[in-house]
Structure 1
């Protein structure tokens, strides 16, 4: 008789232990899932995940562009206070139509480039500067890999013909070719190009 009572008393304890073993993890999982769901709705994880997935230079808005300032203390009206400019009767400079949506950062390559022209006794010597609408990381990458970039520019410049150096359209073709060469090096080294344009600061054919 006593054995039957002991067994009947132990049965509820086993059920309670079983419920604790099964129910507690389910409760914890439910609470954790609810917290995770709330965090996703609140945007706790999205910004971090996006930053980790997309660790690339960002486009710089025009409002953040670094502007060249007029010389301080200059005479003859090199721009007044409050955005005034000479030639507009003291009124703020009108904002023209169009314009770039993003800022432009420029980097002039220090040394000039000299290369023979294809199938010609002439050679071309150019100075170039590059521009990017992305943040300073692109310019830092250019400085870091400048030796590789100079090599790529010289190789691309070696594909230039006499017809290209004497016309404006031909020079634009050269600019495009040089931009592709520079971006090719940056993509190879850093996984991201970012150079939008190449500009000539000097152009001599001899």
Structure 2
């Protein structure tokens, strides 16, 4: 005896569940495929990443702003008679930390150097980094809190460090060559 699905009104229904499940499965697959292809269409680019970067570079000027359609005007510039030199920089990889004279506070400094001489000067700095760090710590320990406060104090500290560095390089290599000392990190706590 074959049993039929009975409904509330007493009629019978055969195979409706299978067709409904098949319909929902096909509908779900269609929606998933539509979403996939819509995503592919939206994210599709016709340029390679390298071409895209080149396009962005061409659209922007050297200062990062968008280039104008018109041709830029040249500004005449008078060059000085003295030759121009390239300034080279070197930053010590680790900051110096020391106590200040007569204080419980300490000073942490990042040290950067500048020279307009060739790469040999910076090579000498790297070669003798340990001795230079020792000399800089000795100089720092002679400064008090009040000595390093303000622009004038930092400038005096910069000059003292420059002189100590050049003195050590002259002793070891016969030539200093450091023209400026900078503080990319200056923390007093």
TM-score (norm 1): 0.55
Q: 1:163 to 1:79 in 2, by over 3 A?
A: same
Counting only pairs closer than 5 Å after superposition, residues 23-172 of structure 1 correspond to structure 2 as 73=54, 75=57, 77-79=60-62, 90-92=72-74, 95=77, 101-172=84-155
- Deviation of the 1:86 alpha carbon: 7.1
Q: 1:110 to 1:93 in 2, by over 3 A?
A: farther
Distance in 2, Cα, partners of 1:114 & 1:136: 28
Distance in 1, Cα, partners of 2:83 & 2:144: 32
Alignment match, 1:4: none
Q: 1:100 to 1:163 in 2, by over 3 A?
A: farther
Distance in 1, Cα, partners of 2:167 & 2:95: 20
Distance in 2, Cα, partners of 1:162 & 1:97: 44
Alignment match, 2:41: none
Quick one: which of 175, 183, 188 aligns to 1:200? 183
- SS of structure 2 residue aligned to 1:159: coil
Distance in 2, Cα, partners of 1:161 & 1:78: 48
Distance in 2, Cα, partners of 1:157 & 1:198: 13
Name the Cα RMSD after superposition.
2.9
Is the 1:124–1:203 contact (alpha carbons within 8 Å) kept by the matching residues of 2? Answer: yes
1:187 paired with 2:170, answer: yes
Structure 1 stretches of at least 4 aligned residues deviating more than 4 Å after TM superposition? 72-76, 92-100
Bigger Rg, structure 1 or 2: 2
Q: 1:177 to 1:90 in 2, by over 3 A?
A: same
Structure 2 portions without partners, runs of 5+: 1-52
Query: What's the CA shift string for 1:10-66, capped at 9, x where partnerless?
Result: xxxxxxxxxxxxxxxxxxxxxxxxxxxxxxxxxxxxxxxxxxxxxxxxxxxxxxxxx
Structure 1 portions without partners, runs of 5+: 1-71
- Deviation of the 1:194 alpha carbon: 0.3
